[in-house]
Amino acid sequence: MSDLFKSMPLISPVLAPASFPRLDDLEKDEISSNLLEELPKVECIARARIPTTQGPEIFLHLYSNNVDNKEHLAIVFGEDIRSRTLYKQRPDDTQDDRMTRGAYIGKLFPGRKSADLDPKSGKELKFSSNGELILDENTHTSPTIVRIHSECYTGETAWSARCDCGEQFDEAGRLMGLDGHGCIVYLRQEGRGIGLGEKLKAYNLQDLGADTVQANLLLRHPADKRSFSLATSILMDLNLVEVKLLTNNPDKIVAVEGKNKEIKVLERVAMVPLAWQDKEGIESKEVEGYLRTKIEKMGHLLQKPINIGAK
């Protein structure tokens, strides 16, 4: 047994190799959905059009909120998905202010003067007497493909084949690009909420034989420390209250719907790993173990097809 685990009692052989500490003596938190009585308040600070290397343009929305200081994002497919807080008229708001923060209709071009009126199409935004944007044919509100994605530096930026986060992110964008509308709510809760440093320690524990759940528990974190209430608030702000949710995680569905069912998940769209569909996708013994643990211990709604072997 390594020195690291000498002070800890042995784990049950069912849960992990005999050289690991017992999980039943460690804190075993349930994977909680952290449903809040009152949803966080969010405010969209800025929106900008991003042409992408993949084809479709996206509109990146940056949010502030009243529960943490992180920059949570909404990656929006569709010019007509509009944030209430961004578009609401503010005291002393000028048309230049509105264009600068991204609260405009249509496209920006050099010399444009009005945010609320698109001179090319003649479409115009309308507001109520208290400055709220009126939802009309210029604002998309119908059921929309949505993914709630938690930050994964390793999978999205450092080419990690320990998880399928990068592949899921790309696939979500591909489906939304095809549909023409969609939203990836990108929450800064790295490592299922434990942060990148702790996730790296968890990876070392995984190399020492723990699975992803055990590694979190050994570090005295819950298996899943995330909350999805910010996603609920952001979707409400974007008027995306009826969604087709891309996920395999049943906890996420309950969590994003909110305590008072502020959001309706009309449909769950499974995120099947590409390699399990006989397509080119992430393959490694680590990702196999990661997905197995999600299915066996975290109740993910995913089944590996029997014809796909360990290649």
Ligand X SMILES: Nc1nc2c(ncn2[C@@H]2O[C@H](COP(=O)(O)OP(=O)(O)OP(=O)(O)O)[C@@H](O)[C@H]2O)c(=O)[nH]1
Q: Which residues bind ligand X (CB under 6 A)?
A: 149-152, 163, 165, 168, 189-192, 194, 199, 202, 212, 216, 247-249, 252, 271, 300
Contact 257, 264 (CB under 8 A): yes
Q: Which residues pair with 183 in a beta bridge?
A: 76, 146
Q: Which is nearer to ligand X, 106 or 182 (CB)?
A: 182
Catalytic residue among 116, 118, 211, 224: 224
User: Minimum CB separation from ligand X for residue 294, in Å?
Assistant: 6
Pairing of strands 264-269, 144-150: unpaired
User: Minimum CB separation from ligand X for residue 232, in Å?
Assistant: 15
User: Minimum CB separation from ligand X for residue 197, in Å?
Assistant: 11
Range 53-62 contact pairs with CB under 8 angstroms and sequence separation of 24 or more: 54/173, 54/174, 54/177, 55/177, 56/173, 56/176, 56/177, 58/173, 59/102, 61/86, 61/102, 61/234, 61/238
Choose among 75, 71, 33: nearest CA to 188: 71
Rounded alpha-carbon distances, angstroms, from residue 77 to 98, 143, 145:
20, 13, 10
**Paired tokens of 224:** 């899943």
Catalytic: 224?
A: yes
Q: Which is nearer to ligand X, 239 or 248 (CB)?
A: 248
Q: Which is nearer to ligand X, 163 or 263 (CB)?
A: 163
Q: Which is nearer to ligand X, 79 or 151 (CB)?
A: 151
How many other CB atoms sit within 10 Å of the CB of residue 57?
Answer: 14
Q: Which is nearer to ligand X, 233 or 249 (CB)?
A: 249
Contact 44, 87 (CB under 8 A): no
User: Minimum CB separation from ligand X for residue 34, in Å?
Assistant: 13
Q: Which is nearer to ligand X, 105 or 275 (CB)?
A: 275
Q: What 8-state DSSP symbol labels residue 43?
A: E
Write the burial class of residue 204 (CB in 10 Å: 0-12 exposed, 13-18 middle, 19+ buried). Answer: exposed
User: Minimum CB separation from ligand X for residue 267, in Å?
Assistant: 14
Range 126-131 contact pairs with CB under 8 angstroms and sequence separation of 24 or more: 127/89, 131/88, 131/89, 131/90
Catalytic: 226?
A: yes
Catalytic residue among 226, 237, 268, 278: 226
The position carrying tokens 């942060």 is 195
Choose among 264, 285, 288, 266: nearest CA to 276: 288
Q: What distance in Å separates the CA atoms of residue 229 and residue 216, rounded to the nearest whole number?
A: 22
User: Minimum CB separation from ligand X for residue 55, in Å?
Assistant: 23
Active centre residues (catalytic): 224, 226
